[in-house]
Structure 1
């Protein structure tokens, strides 16, 4: 209990000093592309894709951060792709909840080079953000009696004008990738800006706090080492307010059997965590698992409070695939 209290105090103080990142984040960020960059909508080899991810963070505290997300996107034959995604984060004993729901669109008609394998995609995303908490689950200082101790039945003088906040939100992004099959090197990279509308971020009717925009740059290079083995180093840079996140990593993909691939790799988030990753792909299904080993001073104080992620993706096809549509996807 003492360790949990200390951890929460340090987190709160850190957020006050550096105005830390407020949005959820994932170590398997390419597995949940709708959250990374709306231009990744439809960037896969198929007709539709269903993706799910679950993250549990700071498991040593009594009510850790848990973040499940579900996304679906599909392609068309008119240089357009559409998608939708929902993410829901819960944390703490006070019933805090962060819910987002977005619809996304991407235009992929900008193509050049031999057989138009070099592609530039522009995407946008609109939706809502809802944040809320449960006042009945909170405890306050005036419920503490120096003689009898804490009395949850005592009435508190603390008051709130509202316990939920819902705001409109929008994002935009751009992506380049080299989709030509059979090459030794295939480059991809993108840039996105979230919270273009600067949504309200307060629970007071008279407050004026707003979510800062989130700027994300990401890139990778698929290196074909042999007919059965490839290596994909990747980088991520994220900035929101005064907080930044820098991540580098790589994963290897081995064709273990016809229709079955094995993926092994790791990402390193600077001054935060090392995240080993293992994945399996069988036909149209990809399963991935990662575990963040905290390397920061905060993690040491919390006795190694690490994080866990699991993801599952399914790519479907309504028609028979032809060699012309096989390309290198800019994702994990």
Structure 2
């Protein structure tokens, strides 16, 4: 009962945060750099190849009655006209289906803005459009109103008094973003930075009754970093992320080291720290055209006092279809952070 009640409180705080607890309403990822179309539509087609397919899965707070499960998949491709195309699908469920968040959209990015001596400084501008659907299943909720003081136990026959005004809502959703990166080959340091905004249409948030017109807040994201080539076989990539949605903020900082093991295999080791929330160590392997990454969030906030072992696990897999012909010095064209 304690874990179920804890999850209900956390769930409502998370998904109704714009109206109830001022908490972030969107899913988040520690490996945000491995899920580019969710991070920034300006990253659509920012690859050294013809196409890219990415899958990611996050299991959050599984110790608390199934917690949050969030799979996502995206695919994007380049064209010869400086127009890149992509599609992204994300689905989050919680508490065994008590809540579901589905967001699907297509994205388009223009990559023809290039400057510098040889045009290696690049600017990519992207937009996205699709649908967002959020759904509650009240039959799976357990609340304090169902606590029977006579038997001192939970009685599911007692109706919930805190019924939602609406159980589901679907709406058009739009986003935009811009990405800058230095693709100069052979440099010691290649810098990259981006800005994106999702939910620009601010879909209605009709779940809490009261007559006040509630909106899903815009999610703003600033992200950036640099790839530092320490040697021919070792590079260091520090990264930063700042995300704001309504009154909620998320700040992350970290880095990973890329070590070349063989001609076709690199190892990745590093981690991120989400301020006042979690430490997330990361390991990965880059083999030929595939990148596999695994991270584990160790909670450092007061949440663990409420929910016990509130840690999270995340895994990502990216496949890139390479161009048939590559130059001797391949430009740094795909910022992973």
Greater shift, 206-215 or 272-281, is seen at: 206-215
Post-superposition CA distance 1:82-125 (Å, at most 9, x none): 00000000112562000000100000000112331110110001
Moved more, 8-17 or 208-217: 8-17
In 1, Cα distance between equivalents of 2:216 and 2:298: 29
Taking a change above 3 Å as real, the CA distance of residues 8 and 20 of structure 1, as seen in their structure-2 partners, is same
- The answer to whether 1:235 aligns with 2:240 is yes
- CA offset at residue 330 of structure 1? 1.2
- Post-superposition Cα deviations, 1:182-224, rounded to whole Å, max 9, x if no partner, equal 1001000011111111111223696621111111100111100
Question: Which of the residues 299, 316, 319 maps onto 1:314?
Answer: 319
> Structure 2 CA distance, aligned partners of 1:162 and 1:43?
40
SS in 2 for 1:73: strand
1:46 matched to 2:49? The reply is: yes
TM-aligned CA deviation for residue 316 of structure 1 = 0.7
Selected match of 2:206 from 183, 202, 209: 202
**Residue of structure 1 aligned with 2:94, choices 81, 91, 95:** 91
Q: Partner residue of 1:5? A: 5
Aligned residues between the structures: 332
| Aligned counterpart for 1:104 among listed residues 94, 102, 107 | 107
- Give the superposition deviation at 1:160: 5.6
1:101 and 1:162 map into 2 onto residues whose CA distance is: 21
**Aligned-partner SS, 1:78:** coil
TM, length-normalised to structure 1: 0.92
**Displacement after TM superposition at 1:135 (Å):** 2.9
3-state DSSP of counterpart to 1:257: coil
CA separation of 1:318/1:328 partners in 2, compared to 1, >3 Å: closer, same or farther?
Answer: closer
Indicate if the aligned counterparts of 2:22 and 2:248 stay in contact, CA closer than 8 A: yes
> Which runs of 5 or more residues in structure 2 are unaligned?
none
Match of residue 302 from structure 1: 307
CA distance in 1, matches of 2:36, 2:122: 17
Q: How does 1:16-35 map to 2 (within 5 A)?
A: 19-35=22-38
Distance 1:301 1:161 in 2: 27
In structure 2, which of residues 160, 163, 177 is the aligned counterpart of residue 173 of structure 1? 177
SS of residue in 1 equivalent to 2:215: coil
Q: Deviations over 1:232-269 (max 9, x none)?
A: 00100111111111111000001100110000001011
CA distance in 1, matches of 2:208, 2:248: 24
Deviation, 1:302, is 2.9
Look up the match of 2:69: 66
Residue matched to 1:192: 196
* Contact in 2 for aligned 1:229/1:254 (Cα 8 Å): yes
The answer on whether the counterparts of 1:96 and 1:134 sit within 8 Å (CA) in structure 2 is yes
Q: Is 1:49–1:313's contact at 8 Å kept on the other side of the alignment?
A: yes
Deviation of 1:143 (Å) = 5.3
Does the alignment pair 1:128 with 2:131? yes
SS in 2 for 1:21: coil
Aligned CA-pair RMSD: 2.4
1:290 positional shift: 0.4
Question: What TM-score results when the alignment is normalised by the length of structure 2?
Answer: 0.90
